[in-house]
Structure 1
Amino acid sequence: MKLFKPLYERALKWSMHPRAEPLLAGLSFIEAIIFPVMPEVMLGPMVLARPQRWFRLATISLLFSVLGALVGYALGHYAFELARPLLESLGWLERIDRQVAELREIAAQSPWSAFWLLVLAGFLPIPLKIFTWASGIVGVPLLPYIASMIVGRGKRVYLLAGVIRLAGPRAEAALHRWIEWIGWAIVGVLILAIIYFKFIR
């Protein structure tokens, strides 16, 4: 079943829209909260079409990703609190609270260790929303959190835009060819992570 390639091709169409820059901003913002397609799939073709604007396009994507990350952080914090009665009724709350407390203590003792963890996470091909919501639930201090979002997502978008600026159509063609495999690989990693934290750890 093809899931990611149709979404990717939709993003390609958006990249050729007359209002492509606002669409890139919107995709970057919403991806940090809930949308499953990373903004790089739209950023790549846009840079290919207008290579001289690669820095501007990467900056738009980064800025709105960070704004979306702040919303995701807030949702992670408040939605988790609202969901506590449901989690308690399912018998999950005690274990979740214990893990959250442990992570919160680590973040409180060494906020910048959370920074480096999130910087690394920002470079992985994993949807940003996972880390924005988790950071809100744990309560990662805002200064290291915002800094990590800027560095982590920034190095991804600037690296991609720079590579496409230099490599041209070959880089975008490789992304188009492998997007389905990349998407399902990410899903597989997420499933393994859930199994590990729920049943093994």
Structure 2
Amino acid sequence: MLRRLYDWTMALSARKSAEVWLAVIAFVESSVFLVPADVLFLPMSLAKPERAWRYALIATIFSVLGGIAGWWIGYFAFDAIAAPILEFYGKLDTFNQLKSGITFETIVLMLVTSGFAHLPPIKVVTILSGAVHVDIWLFILSAAITRGARFFLLAWLLRRYGEGIRHFIEKRLGQIAMAAAAVLIVAYIAYKYLVH
């Protein structure tokens, strides 16, 4: 099923309505969808490099709006909407573990790592942010910075290096982003250890 979903998303990049689909997928990725917007953003930017910045802006705006929707679900409709979504993806136990030990610092760290590196998945963090009542303006600011950084970095790489960088992005950028997220997590743990 996941492979069919991925193939369907890739096929959307060739359509005239690709920008609309990019906006839709970026929006729903941040609250309910399994496939990241990158799988549509990358081929679109490679096909029309002169529009890469435009695509990055569309993806960023709609990803943030989708994050706000996820926050809203967590804040106002956790039991009715969020719990069944998380259970469907097998993430409800992970969510409950995260929620039980959440602090202000950890939620900010997760907003940064999930926005940039999908660690943990962005949809989990957006719903969690609402469920633990993270300030909406802090949430919007962090989502705009991290999601924007991700999409605009991808746009810059694709414009600068073209098709040659695509394989690297698809195979290695996620690993590099996860390594950067791991460094942030270790720095946070070290900070907490030194302060206490």
Same fold (TM over 0.5): yes
- Equivalent runs, 1:1-201 vs 2, <5 Å: 3-4=2-3, 6-82=4-80, 100=99, 103=102, 106-107=103-104, 114-126=107-119, 127-175=121-169, 178=171
Is the Cα–Cα contact under 8 Å of residues 116 and 148 in structure 1 kept in the other structure?
A: no
Deviations 1:33-91 (A, max 9, x none): 111000011101111011111111000000001111111111112332548xx9xxxxx
Shift of 1:21: 0.4
Mapped to 2, the partners of 1:46 and 1:149 lie a distance apart of: 23
Amino acid at match of 1:75: I
Mapped to 1, the partners of 2:148 and 2:76 lie a distance apart of: 27
Q: Could you say if the C-alpha distance between residues 162 and 99 of structure 1 is closer, same or farther in structure 2, counting changes exceeding 3 Å?
A: closer
Q: TM-score, normalised by structure 1?
A: 0.69
Shift of 1:123: 1.3
Q: Could you say if the C-alpha distance between residues 61 and 119 of structure 1 is closer, same or farther in structure 2, counting changes exceeding 3 Å?
A: same
Amino acid at match of 1:3: L
**Structure 1: runs of 5 or more not aligned:** 87-95, 187-201
Is the Cα–Cα contact under 8 Å of residues 27 and 66 in structure 2 kept in the other structure?
A: yes
> 3-state DSSP class of the match of 2:35?
coil
Amino acid at match of 2:42: G
RMSD between aligned alpha carbons? 3.0
Give the number of equivalent residue pairs. Answer: 161
Is the Cα–Cα contact under 8 Å of residues 110 and 125 in structure 2 kept in the other structure?
A: no
> 3-state DSSP class of the match of 2:151?
helix
> 3-state DSSP class of the match of 2:77?
helix
Q: Could you say if the C-alpha distance between residues 17 and 99 of structure 1 is closer, same or farther in structure 2, counting changes exceeding 3 Å?
A: closer
Q: TM-score, normalised by structure 2?
A: 0.71
**Structure 2: runs of 5 or more not aligned:** 85-95, 179-196
